[in-house]
Amino acid sequence: MRTTITLNDKIFKALRIRAAESNESVSKMVEDAIKEQILEDLEDLQTVNKREYEPTVDFSVFVKELKADGLL
């Protein structure tokens, strides 16, 4: 599938240079970066799902505890 994206000129220049140095196309590099980000997001979601039933701590309560313990 073809699509259009808008990149900062300097970012695109760096991408073109990197692509030329690695003998990869700009398209392949962009696609690989997107795949990597999607996989990272999936890992994050798996971690969130594993921790779904962990007890939560109110941030202000946590800060008060840190202060009481002399850590802040």
Q: For 70, left (φ over 0), alpha (ψ -120 to 50), or beta?
A: left
Task: Enter the pTM of the model.
Answer: 0.62
Q: What is the pLDDT of residue 42?
A: 94
Query: What confidence tens digit (pLDDT) does each residue in 15-65 have?
Result: 999 999 999 999 999 999 999 999 999 999 999 899 989 999 999 999 999
Confidence of residue 9 (pLDDT cuts 50, 70, 90): very high
Q: What is the pLDDT of residue 28?
A: 96
Task: Return the domain boundaries, the chain.
Answer: 9-68
CA angle, 26 then 31 then 37, to 5°: 130
Q: What is the pLDDT of residue 31?
A: 96
